[in-house]
A and B are shown apart, each in its own frame.
Chain A
């Protein structure tokens, strides 16, 4: 367990900032529950992945330097996204060995964690309490799963919540077709992939779709809504922090 008053810097992620503040608030709540002091450094923006994956190394390096500086001095850096934290783990690739920034990037990498894997390690899970009730299905987002080994941690955490019944979908590890800029560069292919995904989600009979990455969630929620499938999409921390009373992603303000 954490020594009291360890400082965690929250990496908000641009999508949580813009689309789903609840996710960041839920993360804060959970991290505090685990005994950490949580701070939100002002100088953070986005992890730089769109530039990195589009070959714009110069821009990604500039963003990386900014992020590294923003999170200097924190014992841990935690974010509600496997993809963005995965990007932080790529930072050392942006600097030549010997460049002081390379060492600083390695240092950041060693302190940067995806929220569910961090909680699984540092939170006394019996403290979790949530009034949420429902059948949920869990999509394993690619970067979290394959770059950071996030698979059992969210499920372990969810298993502590009495109202949650997990119904696994077919191919939960198959990409939803979001892929950052991929979904707008190759809309037809992305559409096929998210179409397959929503079919697999629907087939579980779950009423809630959970995942640990807002990019994938916006994509899947948008598709479910477009297809008129009545399944609510939420980030897993909303359930864990008992903050699922607000409308789900892409839902109208008041549901009857």
Chain B
């Protein structure tokens, strides 16, 4: 996927003027935050669970290598295979190789952000394997040659008319604007793919070291059909999804659905532990786990390690006023919103991520709702430090800051500067108490007035009162 993060500002401007997108985003704001709040209110222990989850994740990350070893050992004991992939490229190749070994023509896919991250679909297609997305949202996007704009509600940027048009065009059936009808149509169309697929690819929400199991959490049941019906099941997961035991996984499950959709529990939480057992009448004959690093191992021990606690619940973007205003595509790569502004620079390189870590007012709402208490503003600030060090921030910002710091560290000069500015602003405003136009401040005054100072600076007045 082409990285369009450097165009965030332009993308955002267009998004703000896109009436259809704005209508669609309205559904998000009206939905997830209230539902989460209601679910949290019903579970008095919620915040305690968050503390435990944060601490447990920290323990896991401190012992990540050892838990990964244990996981692999148990996957192998269950009859599965683990593949280690340092880069996105390694992962794509490995997955294709498994598909080719099976002579696969089509693969069905459950929802997986990691496969978006490694740009799997394009690659498979170019190499003669047809991927079919089976999550309703992802399926709609695939028909439209579109990409997810949200990590759990991938088609949140679309309205029902867009879905109706896409179905009408591809299914060649009479058009309907009824969501129930559209869903039935998708169900019917996808049945044949589920059965025909040679390989099923899913992601994983967690990897359980103790049992060598992977788990997916879905509401639709598409992931289950994807992994049960084909001869081969490939789980694609990133390395930080490990948990020690089933009990530990349970801690995260209690947080995940509530933080994500506000459900008490996801409809289907399914653990997979290897291929079909002797005597089993169904289930895959081959079980592969493709573990993707793609920059994560470099985060271990760095100032960004805390980001690896992320369980991909989407609460941070659901509550982010910037995300809510501009939608996920504005961020220009796979992961949007606050978590994306931390992950994207790591994965595509800070020099290619535009100024994404700046796309936040640091209001702190994301950190307030994050189930594993990731200090997202702090991590974005770390990226800003790096941008500044590497001279990636715009020259106007740098020189403005330098000038301002020059004054701020010289109190006497600063007083002078403040009183001149104060007088100038009062002069501009005249008797109105505000100005609607100011030189060099159009970014402010294009949209709002600039209130004028109400008198001399405080420091001047304080001095004059001789206190």
Contact = CB atoms under 8 A, between A and B. Distances in A.
Given A21-B455, A142-B363, 8 more contacts: A19-B451, A50-B401, A51-B401, A143-B362, A177-B361, A186-B12, A226-B436, A250-B433
Given A12-B459, A63-B405, A219-B448, A252 B432 contact: yes
Interface stretch (A36-44, A101-109, A155-163): A36-44
Provide the main secondary structure of the chain A interface. Answer: helix
Contacts of A117: none
B408 A25 contact: no
B117 to A, nearest CB: 26
Interface of A: 12, 14, 16-22, 24-25, 40, 42-46, 48, 50-57, 59, 62-63, 66, 142-143, 145-147, 173-175, 177-194, 196, 218-219, 221-223, 225-226, 246-247, 249-254
Contacts of A177: 321, 361
A221 B421 CA distance: 20
Nearest to B455: A21
B384 A17 contact: no
Interface residues of B, dominant DSSP = helix
B173 interface: no
A222 B449 contact: yes
Contacts of B456: 21
A248 to B, nearest CB: 9
Size class of the contact patch on chain B: 35 or more
Contacts of A178: 361
Nearest to A22: B454
Contacts of B12: 186, 188-189
A53 B449 contact: no
A196 B29 CA distance: 12
Given A12-B458, A19-B454, A186-B9, A53 B401 contact: no
A50 B404 contact: yes
B393 interface: yes
A74 B46 CA distance: 40
A208 to B, nearest CB: 15
Contacts of A218: 450-451
5 contacts: A55-B389, A145-B364, A226-B448, A250-B434, A250-B449
A215 B143 CA distance: 46
A79 B441 CA distance: 27
B418 A194 contact: no
B367 A146 contact: yes
A175 B367 CA distance: 14
Nearest to B447: A191
B384 A54 contact: yes
Contacts of B388: 54-57
Contacts of B461: 21, 25
Contact of A184 (B405, B408, B411, B443): B443
B385 A194 contact: no
Contacts of A46: 408, 414
Nearest to B378: A93
B418 A17 contact: yes
Nearest to B419: A18
